[in-house]
C-alpha cells in the first residue's frame, strides 16, 4: 500500500497543478478541449478573466491572449490620388481584441503578427479607396480629417471578421516623391508669386489713389489758407489805409511828420548808404524846423 500511496500522491499533485492556471492583469484566457474552444451559455467563447482559474488536466489547453489596446505602426505605403499623382503615407492604428474566439480562429491560434497583417491589408484598401477619390490638396489640408474618419469607419466595419475592434486610425505623415514634390513646389511658388504681384499692384494702385487724394487735400487747404491770408491782408491794408486817412484828415501835419520819420528811418538804416539830396528840399523840412507845431 505504501508503494502505491506515494505514486498516487505524486499523481494527485501533478493533476492538481495541471488543473490550475493563472491569467495576468491585462490578459484573457480561452480553453481548448480536444482542439475546440470551450463556449459559454451564449454560444460565445468562454473567457477567463485575470486571476487563478481551473481546467481539466490532460484534456484542456489554455491560450492566453493580450486584452490591452495595441498599436500597429504601419509602414509607409504608396497611393495614387485622383490626379494620378503618387503620395507616400504613414499611418498608425489603435486596436484591441473584441471577440477572443473569433480572433483565435482567424489569426491561426492568436498570432498577433497575423492579425496585424490582416488589419494592415484592410487599412491599405480603405486608404487606397479614399486617396484615389481626392486631390493632393484635399488630402494634405482640406479633407485630411474626413479621410481618416471615413477610413476608420470602413475598417471598423470590416475588422469584425478578425474579432478585433479598431479604436483609432491616424495619418502621421504625407510625403511626395521627389519629382512630384519639386513640380508641386514650383507650381505653389508660381501661384504665390502671382498672388504677391497682384497684391503689390493693388497696393501701388491704392497708394497712388491715397497720394493723389492727399495732394488734392493739401492743395485745397493751401489754396483756402492763401485765400484767407489774402483776404485778411486786404482787410488789414484797408484798415491801415482807413486809419492813415483818418489821421491825415484829423491831423495832416502830424501825418506828414510821421511819414517823414518813416522815410528818414528807411533812408538812414544802413550806415554805408550815401544819399545825395538838396538840403533845401522838403525832405529835410522837419530837420530844419524841429520846433514845428504838430498840435
pLDDT digits (tens, 9 = 90+) for 231-290: 888 888 788 777 767 766 666 666 666 666 666 666 666 666 666 666 655 555 555 555
Q: What percent of the chain has pLDDT over 70?
A: 74
Q: What percent of the chain has pLDDT over 90?
A: 14
Opening angle at CA 129, ends 82 and 116, nearest 5: 140
For residue 52, how far is the Cα from the chain centroid?
54
pLDDT digits (tens, 9 = 90+) for 75-124: 778 888 888 888 888 888 999 999 999 999 998 888 999 999 999 999 99
Q: Is the model's pLDDT at 43 over the cut of 90? A: no
Spatial distance between the Cα atoms of 80 and 128, rounded to a whole number of angstroms: 7
Mean pLDDT computed over 19-44 = 86
Average pLDDT taken over every residue of the chain: 80
Range list of β-strands (E), the chain: 20-23, 27-33, 36-37, 51-54, 60-66, 70-73, 77-80, 86-97, 164-175
Residue 248 has which C-alpha cell? 491825415
**136-140, 206-210, 264-268 — which is least confidently predicted?**
264-268
- How far lies 17's CA from each of 43, 57, 64, in Å? 29, 9, 17
Q: What are phi and psi of 40, to 5 degrees?
A: -90, -175
The pLDDT assigned to 280 comes to 59
Mean pLDDT computed over 49-57 = 86
Q: Is the model's pLDDT at 4 over the cut of 80? A: no
Out of 3.30.470.20, 3.30.479.30, 1.10.3720.10, 3.30.43.10, the CATH code matching 70-176 is: 3.30.479.30
The pLDDT assigned to 38 comes to 86
Beta bridge partners of 52: 22
Non-local CB neighbours of 121 within 8 Å, separated by 6+ positions: none
The pLDDT assigned to 9 comes to 64
Whole-structure pTM over 0.85, yes or no? Answer: no
- Residue holding cell 484829423? 250
Contact 92, 166 (CB under 8 A): no
The pLDDT assigned to 146 comes to 87
Contact 101, 94 (CB under 8 A): no
Amino acid at each position: 500500500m505504501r508503494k502505491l500511496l506515494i505514486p498516487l500522491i505524486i499523481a494527485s499533485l501533478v493533476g492538481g497543478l495541471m488543473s490550475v492556471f493563472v491569467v495576468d492583469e491585462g490578459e484573457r484566457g480561452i480553453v481548448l478541449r480536444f482542439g475546440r474552444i470551450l463556449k459559454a451559455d451564449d454560444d460565445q467563447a468562454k473567457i477567463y478573466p485575470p486571476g487563478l482559474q481551473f481546467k481539466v488536466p490532460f484534456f484542456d489547453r489554455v491560450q492566453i491572449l493580450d486584452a490591452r489596446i495595441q498599436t500597429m505602426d504601419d509602414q509607409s505605403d504608396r497611393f495614387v490620388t485622383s490626379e494620378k499623382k503618387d503620395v507616400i503615407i504613414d499611418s498608425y492604428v489603435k486596436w484591441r481584441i473584441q471577440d477572443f474566439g473569433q480572433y483565435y480562429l482567424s489569426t491561426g491560434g492568436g498570432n498577433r503578427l497575423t492579425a496585424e497583417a490582416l488589419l494592415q491589408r484592410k487599412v491599405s484598401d480603405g486608404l487606397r479607396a479614399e486617396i484615389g477619390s481626392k486631390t493632393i490638396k484635399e488630402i494634405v489640408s482640406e479633407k485630411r480629417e474626413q479621410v481618416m474618419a471615413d477610413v476608420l469607419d470602413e475598417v471598423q466595419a470590416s475588422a469584425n471578421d478578425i474579432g478585433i475592434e479598431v479604436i483609432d486610425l491616424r495619418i502621421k505623415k504625407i510625403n511626395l516623391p521627389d519629382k512630384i514634390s519639386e513640380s508641386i513646389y514650383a507650381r505653389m511658388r508660381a501661384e504665390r508669386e502671382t498672388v504677391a504681384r497682384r497684391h503689390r499692384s493693388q497696393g501701388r494702385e491704392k497708394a497712388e489713389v491715397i497720394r493723389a487724394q492727399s495732394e488734392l487735400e493739401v492743395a485745397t487747404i493751401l489754396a483756402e489758407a492763401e485765400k484767407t491770408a489774402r483776404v485778411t491782408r486786404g482787410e488789414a491794408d484797408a484798415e491801415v489805409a482807413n486809419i492813415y486817412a483818418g489821421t491825415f484828415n484829423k491831423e495832416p501835419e502830424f501825418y506828414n511828420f510821421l511819414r517823414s520819420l518813416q522815410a528818414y528811418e528807411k533812408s538812414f538804416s544802413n550806415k554805408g548808404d550815401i544819399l545825395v539830396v538838396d538840403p533845401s528840399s522838403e525832405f529835410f523840412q522837419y530837420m530844419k524846423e524841429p520846433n514845428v507845431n504838430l498840435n
